[in-house]
Amino acid sequence: MSLIRSTFTLLPSRRIRPLQHNPPGDLAIWVFILAELVTFFALFSAYAFARLSHRELFAEMQKTLDAEAGMINTLLLITGSWCVAQAVAAIERHRNRQSGHWLLAAIVAGAAFLVVKYVEYAAKFAQGIDLSTNLFYAFYFSLTAFHAMHVLLGMAILCFVWRKAMQGGYSAADHRGMETAASYWHMVDLVWIVLFPLVYLMR
């Protein structure tokens, strides 16, 4: 009975928790995120419609891609995003050093993503395949390299935030900078969630 009473006492307080006006982090990063998302929307649309008039070429070329590498990179980015979310959760609980460790794990995941991407590119270049090989590979290299640059930028931001976190620069009351970096990193993950099936799987 007491369990039921305590449950009903808890539920309303969860429901009436007010919604925040603005998303986590600095508002400027969200404007930047939106601009990036619009750019990727244009690129994905261009790929999907270009494929309409080159279906056989795209299907054949997609078979030459390393889908395992794409899948591993998806797992790495998802894990990196999870680590960053855990870093924010840790700082909210006053666990500053733990938060730093989660950020470092996210940086490692990002670095591993770039290593896998490098291996993938190196294999293609060794086969004489590059940006000018055909329309599919022009899209493949443009889309994935543009995304990889975002991963690189996200890692640079995370390194800065990690250093500050380890120096005690964030607290449970003030960790806006970390939330800003986290939002950007999640955007990089979100874009790859669409890019992976589009380029590697959907033939």
For the bound state, the minimum distance from the C-beta of residue 93 to other proteins, rounded and expressed in Å, comes to: 9
For residues 170 and 25, the answer to whether their CB atoms sit within 8 Å is no
**What 8-state DSSP symbol labels residue 30?**
H
Q: Which is nearer to other proteins, 5 or 63 (CB)?
A: 63
Least Cα distance to 64 among 116, 144, 137, 115 occurs for 137
**Binding mask 96-135 vs other proteins (x if CB under 8 A, - otherwise)?**
----------------------------------------
Instruction: Return d(Cα 26, Cα 57) in angstroms, integer.
Output: 44
Q: Which helix (H) or strand (E) holds 121?
A: helix 96-126
For the bound state, the minimum distance from the C-beta of residue 122 to other proteins, rounded and expressed in Å, comes to: 22
For residues 70 and 196, the answer to whether their CB atoms sit within 8 Å is yes
Q: For binding to other proteins (CB under 8 A), which residues are involved?
A: 17, 19-24, 30, 34, 37-38, 40-41, 44-45, 48-49, 51-52, 55, 59, 67-68, 70-71, 74-75, 78-79, 81-82, 84-86, 88-89, 92, 182-183, 186-187, 189-190, 193-194, 196-198, 200-203
